[in-house]
Amino acid sequence: VFGIGDFARHGRVSIRMLRHYDAIGLLRPAQVDPASGYRSYEATQLAELNRIVALKDLGFTLQQVQDMLNDHVDIDELRGMLKLRHAQLQAQIVTDTARLTQVEARLRTIEREGQMPADEVVVKQVSPVRVAELTAIAVSYAPEHIGPAIQPLYPELMARLAHAGVPIVGAPVAYYEDEPGSDGAITVHATAPVNVEPDDKYDFEIVDLPGIATAATIVHHGSMDNVVPTGQALSQWVDANGYRSTGYAREVYLDCPPELEKWVTELQAPVELI
Amino acid sequence: VFGIGDFARHGRVSIRMLRHYDAIGLLRPAQVDPASGYRSYEATQLAELNRIVALKDLGFTLQQVQDMLNDHVDIDELRGMLKLRHAQLQAQIVTDTARLTQVEARLRTIEREGQMPADEVVVKQVSPVRVAELTAIAVSYAPEHIGPAIQPLYPELMARLAHAGVPIVGAPVAYYEDEPGSDGAITVHATAPVNVEPDDKYDFEIVDLPGIATAATIVHHGSMDNVVPTGQALSQWVDANGYRSTGYAREVYLDCPPELEKWVTELQAPVELI
DNA sequence: TTGCTCCTCACGTCACGTGAGGTGGC
DNA sequence: TTGCTCCTCACGTCACGTGAGGTGGC
């Protein structure tokens, strides 16, 4: 029979933990002195404590451990809990591995440039959105072809939306697709988020833009004429951080004041790991 | 310029997070309406928010992020923080991988036996301890040779300790080593923790038992004559959970009442991953 | 007038760590 | 009498989530 201190030492847990497990009913001492409140434990309780520690080490909460040990879960629930934990651990390892790669990329940048990278790139999820759009075709993805193709579309789209009385509910988005069957030509889509159903009466398309499960994003400041270096920074980041690009980046026009150098745009490149 | 809701949507963070970042001074809104308290953000602040999110995603605390962004850390500190994070992430991945293996082992046991394993094995660290010891030699590690070799040592050790006036400060421990230059013979050590310096006057050895960095442990109930199945359960667990045994197990005699069937012993097998 | 967006408290989370202040037996 | 072990509160942790209760402009 052990005092709480000896029992804690043998079980490699803290005294505070034993008191906590007592308080929540997870592991009650074999004896409690009624006068002093001193707890005492029996040697056989060490097996019980080991069971608790083992389950806790797998990452289960104390509540889950308690349910498992008191047979509050049947075999199928138990299997389910283990499978869930299995999936969580796999996901955790995947994201930690990605983090590790990013930390390494930052360390390399520090060694090379003597300072922290500008931290501009964030990987996030982009949700689906319904937009009104006009399209045009550019002969290539080169900026000198894209710009002239897309620029006239926006004033026209805005005018048609205004004329149809359809309000814009978010920031305009541009996106690009390969023109099928054509050699290097690009379909450019100029869009603005709306909240209406498709209708033949409109002189623009209503399209549901799918979400992007994993998008590497960067904020571009200034005129879109100077977007190329920002786009390059984005693809370099993607390459250096264990991702691969899976398509053309969307452009979200967050702020488009008359002075072109004050524009703020977000580039959203769809990517996947490794 | 965005209201807090729009800004949160574009940054894929919650409104609550923006308020929190305002409260702790991490990201202040560009404007706050003095009358209503309404916050507003500028498009360019999205780059700032992205920087915060990127560093947070690497696992840094908000305090660390704040220090980094406000240049409260120089380049060497920054490198140090990144290297520390790198090491932490590696350690995290290692332990999560071990957890994953253990969850898989449990799932296999459930499929095979229709119930949760008895959860007896725990991996923990064993700290160094100073002991008084007597030794003997057994011709092999077989239980029928070990038992007769070690059993007489304990009464003798206790008697000599009592005679020397040296108090025992913990549970007795037995450990085993290959007898060098001999074919399969084992040196058996019967020990008890003490708190004295070595001295020629003692008729027992004072030895500092080293700690065990990684020990797989199991609690054995009952006489040591029946320890074999428990030892087998332990080595099966070690094999099934991605570890490898690196030596003989220590035996810690937690409770040794006169009735042999009430003994409680902990086996501590030194192991390493994979 | 009804929605919608926004506001400020303030409690809850999870598993303990860490004092503060005090007691009982050698 | 001094250490030592043990006791019971009770606050702090970290980054928000989640109401409660209320306000201002279309």
Which residues are paired to B129 by β-bridges?
Answer: B209
Contacts of A230 in chain B (CB under 8 A): none
Query: Under 8 Å CB-to-CB from A249, ≥6 apart: which residues?
Result: A176, A231, A234, A267, A268, A269, A270
> What is the spatial distance between Cα B256 and Cα B265, in angstroms, rounded to a whole number?
8
Give me the residue from B78, B86, B107 closest to A116, CB to CB: B78
Are residues B210 and B268 in contact, defined by beta-carbon separation less than 8 angstroms? Answer: no
pLDDT in tens, A165-217: 999 999 999 999 998 887 889 999 999 999 999 999 999 999 999 999 999 99
Residue with tokens 């691969």: A244
Q: With helix as H, strand as E and coil as C, how does B232-253 read?
A: HHHHHHHHHCCEEECCCCEEEE
Are residues B207 and B169 in contact, defined by beta-carbon separation less than 8 angstroms? Answer: no
> What is the spatial distance between Cα A83 and Cα B100, in angstroms, rounded to a whole number?
10
Across A214-227, b (16+ Cβ under 10 Å) vs e yields ebbbbbbeeebeeb
Residue A182 confidence (pLDDT) = 79
Which residues are paired to B32 by β-bridges?
Answer: B39
Taking an 8 Å cut-off on Cβ atoms, the answer to whether B10 and A255 are in contact is: no
B252 reaches A (C-beta below 8 A): yes
Residue B92 confidence (pLDDT) = 95
Residue A183 confidence (pLDDT) = 84
Residue with tokens 């949700």: A127
> What is the spatial distance between Cα A58 and Cα A78, in angstroms, rounded to a whole number?
13
Q: Would you tell me how many other CB atoms lie within 10 Å of the CB of residue B6?
A: 15
- What is the pTM for the complete model shown? 0.89
Share of chain A above pLDDT 90, in %: 87
Residue B183 confidence (pLDDT) = 84
- Give the mean model confidence (pLDDT) for residues B164-184: 90
Scanning A53-82 for CB atoms below 8 A from B yields 53-55, 57-59, 68, 75, 78-79, 82
What phi, psi does B44 have (nearest 5°)?
A: -65, -20
Q: Which residue of B has its CA nearest to A53?
A: B122
- Give the mean model confidence (pLDDT) for residues B28-42: 93
Strand (E) or helix (H) holding B147: helix B143-150
Judge if the beta carbon of B38 is closer than 7 A to nucleic acid strand C: yes
Compute the count of residue pairs across chains A and B with CB atoms less than 8 Å apart.
155
Residue with tokens 């050895």: B205
Taking an 8 Å cut-off on Cβ atoms, the answer to whether A110 and B57 are in contact is: no
Are residues A205 and A133 in contact, defined by beta-carbon separation less than 8 angstroms? Answer: yes
Which residues are paired to A253 by β-bridges?
Answer: A265
Which whole-number Å values give the CA distances from A251 to A78, A88, A227, A239, in the listed order? 47, 33, 10, 20
Q: Would you tell me how many other CB atoms lie within 10 Å of the CB of residue A83?
A: 12
Q: Which residue of B has its CA nearest to A13?
A: B124
Confidence of residue B216 (pLDDT cuts 50, 70, 90): very high
pLDDT over 80 at A69, yes or no: yes
pLDDT over 80 at A139, yes or no: yes
Across A86-107, b (16+ Cβ under 10 Å) vs e yields beebeebbeebbbbbbbbbbbb
Residue B117 confidence (pLDDT) = 82
- Give the mean model confidence (pLDDT) for residues A4-13: 95
Give me the residue from A12, A68, A99 closest to B125, CB to CB: A12
Q: How many residues does chain B have?
A: 274
Strand (E) or helix (H) holding A220: strand A212-221
Judge if the beta carbon of A27 is closer than 7 A to nucleic acid strand C: no
Q: Would you tell me how many other CB atoms lie within 10 Å of the CB of residue B195?
A: 10
Scanning A88-107 for CB atoms below 8 A from B yields 89-90, 92-93, 96-97, 99-100, 102-104, 106-107
Query: Under 8 Å CB-to-CB from B191, ≥6 apart: which residues?
Result: B131, B132, B133, B157, B172, B173, B174, B175, B207, B209
- Give the mean model confidence (pLDDT) for residues B50-55: 95
Residue B181 confidence (pLDDT) = 82
pLDDT over 90 at B245, yes or no: yes
> What is the spatial distance between Cα A116 and Cα B65, in angstroms, rounded to a whole number?
12
Residue A2 confidence (pLDDT) = 94
> What is the spatial distance between Cα A220 and Cα A27, in angstroms, rounded to a whole number?
57
- Look at phi and psi of residue B136 and say left if phi exceeds 0, alpha if psi is from -120 to 50, else beta: beta
Q: Tokens for B133?
A: 């010891």
Confidence of residue A117 (pLDDT cuts 50, 70, 90): confident
C-alpha closest to that of B251 among B173, B187, B186:
B173
Q: Of A1, A51, A168, which to mutate for an interface test with B (greatest number of B Cβ within 10 Å)?
A: A51
A166 vs chain B: nearest CA distance in angstroms? 20
Judge if the beta carbon of A56 is closer than 7 A to nucleic acid strand C: yes
Give the CA-to-C1' distance from A1 to D5 in angstroms. 15
